[in-house]
A and B are shown apart, each in its own frame.
Chain A
Amino acid sequence: MSAAGTEAPETPEAPLSAPLEVGFDYTRSVGPVLGEFVNALRERRILGVRGSDGRVHVPPVEYDPGTARALTEFVAVADEGTVLSWSWNAEPLDGQPVTRPFAWALIRLDGADTALLHAVDAGSPSAMRTGMRVRARWADEPVGHIRDLVSFVPADASPEPEPAPPSPPVAERGEGEPVSTVITPITLRIQHSASPEESRYLRALAEGRLLGQRCPVCGKVYIPPRGACPVDGVPTEEEVDLPDTGIVTTFCIVNVPFLGQRIKPPYVAAYVLLDGADIAFLHLVLGCAAEEVRMGLRVRAVWRPREEWSTTLENITHFEPTGEPDAPYESFAHHL
């Protein structure tokens, strides 16, 4: 997973927004029924399963749509079949089977009673018609995945026009073992937006200011400001510049590494309550041994060099002890 930099807003006051890419290679254990199916694909064979009503389902279903019974009777079907319906995809999306315009089709393979949804690489919509015959185009090296079926092509088509895409990643398994897990990469791009209130705070951060806002109903000072005060359900309004000093209310020491982590452990993740704020936020405390961090510890922000500032709390690399006496517990107990 990764997040790219910010986009220039249309006007200075438009809320900030930036792309967020969320991606993971999902590992899907397939179990006995789908396992039989994907392992057959590896041998360029297509299997269906017989349903409670006698229909042969391709792709196989684990449980019958009518009776919910577990299905186990496999039936081999052809890798050729008939198009029952189709639609034209003029602008293929990331991850789809064919990169040039293609047809989605419901294809009833010979020997099957239900239709498989897959791509037909026919070049143009004029080459498509319901009832047409299509055959599977197999991957050069099938790995035991639905994408071993690269696409379907018209049965009378001449040899494949474009090179087959690379096979999906393969899960580790023992020598000679059947495929029991398939890997499906899923990557989404999302445009993340900050709220108008948070955007004002982020822009202030880019100027080295810590900007809070007060709720017009309860009078509490929130940093970051909120699109809705969580108690009153109205946006925070009156702006309050806050100092970069405060106290640690509570904290933990993170010793555990994990996927996607951006800070090397061990580190102290602390709730820092700025002087004049009514709510703490999470940040790092460095500048002393982790075991010396205490509840009530007085801290001050350590800023990055001014030329590195942008619209993020990361302008503050961490907080460090000021050396002042600790705040008494009673003074912050209601912030825990």
Chain B
Amino acid sequence: MKDVAVVGFAQAPNVRRTHGTTNGVEMLVPVFREVFDRTGLSKQDIGFWCSGSSDYLAGRAFSFVAAVDAIGAFPPIHESHVEMDAAWALYEAWLKIRTGEVDTALVYGFGKSSAGTLRRVLALQLDPYVTAPLWPDSIGIAGLQARLGLEAGLWSEKDMAEVAARSRADAAGNPYAQVREPVEVAELLDAPVVADPLRAHDIAPVTDGAAVVVLASAERARDLVERPAVITGIEHRVDSPALGSRDLTRSPSTEAAARAAGAGEVTVAELHAPFTHQELILREALGLGAGVRINPSGGPLTGNPMFSAGLARIGEAATRILDGTAERVLAHATSGPALQQNLVAVLERD
């Protein structure tokens, strides 16, 4: 089976609100152009296209259909779509290249979270018979998870604030980030709780955005970029939806995915944790020690574009290889309430 590498990444600015449509066209047209410029490819060179987005985020059935206009999809293209974060679209594209059927793929994700009330919309991911009819919002559920760990002594409010402070400090250097003002831990801890036990800094912002990653077979990748980021492992797992029967302080699906992907030693990890305490759960599940650089991009706490934030983690991690600053990196994406579903990718210098 063919090895697969990331050869390009581009993203739209992470912003609280765009004027664009919910089908993402206005965000996608420029990022497609950017990633083509960067790789020297054109749309005719792409063997397979795969995207991730959500009808419920857009409030419309078939909202992803108009997004293909941004491609200019005629003559017809070989294309697929997952109703998941586009990190899983990348997984599907990775499979396609592995089979040898194609040797390039373009993966994109987009979402306009600002079109609705995100924390309320996400309640519709819960069991529709006995849970969703109560409209438990995503922040409330994360708060339950955070308190379990706080009271079990697994993490402290200070640990959580440190995650936020580090994220913001790093985001100051990322022109695409939404929240870019550095702030001290003490200052964060002085702020009031907004969803006890969570403070504002514990919660990822509501973000509109889009991201694109270009994949190529390892052979093809060498012709396109100097240092392709070869995907040496990519795995994903899902946990039970029954929140009350899970140990919410752990992420067994992340542990299993990391084991299967051969996570091992890495120097950089981009983690898709929309809440500070979730990063702490993930670090434990992934066995990331103090020496590992977490979210040099600033991560989701400084910009969390739904349905592309997971893909952006892979793009950001790959960028450390592409720019020659790292040899072996890890990327993670999540989906569903309280880290229910998780994907882990390991990328290495060729």
Partner-B contacts on A (CB < 8 A): 14-15, 17, 20, 22, 26, 28, 30, 34, 37, 51, 55, 57-59, 61, 65, 84-90, 93-97, 104-106, 108, 113-119, 125, 130, 145-147, 168, 182, 184, 186, 188-196, 226-235
Contact = CB atoms under 8 A, between A and B. Distances in A.
B243 A117 contact: yes
Interface of B: 19-22, 25-26, 28-29, 32, 43, 56, 58-60, 68-74, 112, 114-117, 119-121, 124, 127-137, 139-148, 151, 193-198, 240, 242-245, 248
A121 to B, nearest CB: 12
A104 B144 contact: yes
A193 B22 contact: yes
A194 B21 contact: yes
A104 B146 CA distance: 13
Contacts of A146: 129-131, 133-134
B129 A28 contact: yes
Given A28-B128, A59-B130, A87-B147, A233 B195 contact: no
A101 B51 CA distance: 39
B133 A228 contact: no
A105 B144 contact: yes
5 contacts: A15-B19, A59-B244, A87-B140, A97-B134, A117-B136
A182 B129 contact: yes
A184 B167 CA distance: 40
Q: Which 10 A-B pairs give the minimum distances between C-beta atoms? A: A87-B143, A233-B72, A190-B59, A115-B244, A88-B196, A65-B240, A114-B245, A104-B140, A227-B25, A95-B135
Given A61-B245, A114-B245, A233-B71, 5 more contacts: A85-B151, A117-B141, A117-B243, A227-B21, A233-B43
Given A88-B143, A96-B134, A233 B69 contact: yes
B129 to A, nearest CB: 5
B29 A234 contact: yes
A97 B137 CA distance: 12
Contacts of B140: 87, 89, 104
B20 to A, nearest CB: 6
Nearest to B142: A87
Given A87-B195, A230-B74, A233-B32, A190 B58 contact: yes
A34 B130 CA distance: 9
Contacts of A191: 114-116
B29 A227 contact: yes
Given A85-B147, A190-B116, A119 B134 contact: yes
Given A86-B144, A193-B19, A184 B128 contact: yes
A188 B135 contact: no
B137 to A, nearest CB: 6
Nearest to B27: A227
A89 B245 CA distance: 22
B147 A86 contact: yes
A233 B26 CA distance: 10
A228 B29 CA distance: 7
Interface-centre pick from B119, B131, B244 (highest chain A CB count, 10 A): B244
Contact of B117 (A30, A85, A93, A192): A93
Contacts of A184: 128, 132-133
Contact of A14 (B19, B32, B120): B19
Contacts of B43: 233
Nearest to A60: B130
Nearest to B71: A233
Contacts of A119: 134
A94 B26 CA distance: 31
Contacts of A93: 117, 119-120, 135, 137
A233 B25 CA distance: 9
A192 B151 CA distance: 42
Contacts of A26: 128
A89 B25 contact: no
A228 B25 contact: yes
B72 A231 contact: yes
Nearest to B68: A230
A8 B28 CA distance: 27
B19 A188 contact: no
Contacts of B147: 85-87, 130
Nearest to B245: A114
Contacts of A104: 136, 140-141, 143-144
A17 B59 CA distance: 14
A85 B115 contact: no
Contact of A228 (B69, B116, B135, B146): B69
Nearest to A87: B143
Contacts of A65: 240, 242, 245
A87 B20 contact: no
Contacts of A230: 68-69, 72-74
A86 B140 CA distance: 8
Contacts of B117: 93, 189
B195 A189 contact: no
Contacts of B197: 87
Contacts of B240: 65
A117 B131 contact: yes
Given A190-B116, A230-B69, A195 B21 contact: yes
Contacts of B74: 230-231
Contacts of A229: 69, 72
Contacts of B29: 227-228, 233-235
Which of A22, A108, A188 has the largest number of chain B CB atoms within 10 A?
A188
Contacts of A196: 19, 26
Nearest to B117: A93
Contacts of A28: 128-129
Nearest to A113: B245
Contacts of A193: 19-22, 112, 115
Nearest to A95: B135
A30 B29 CA distance: 44
A168 to B, nearest CB: 7
Contacts of A194: 21
Contacts of B69: 226-230, 233
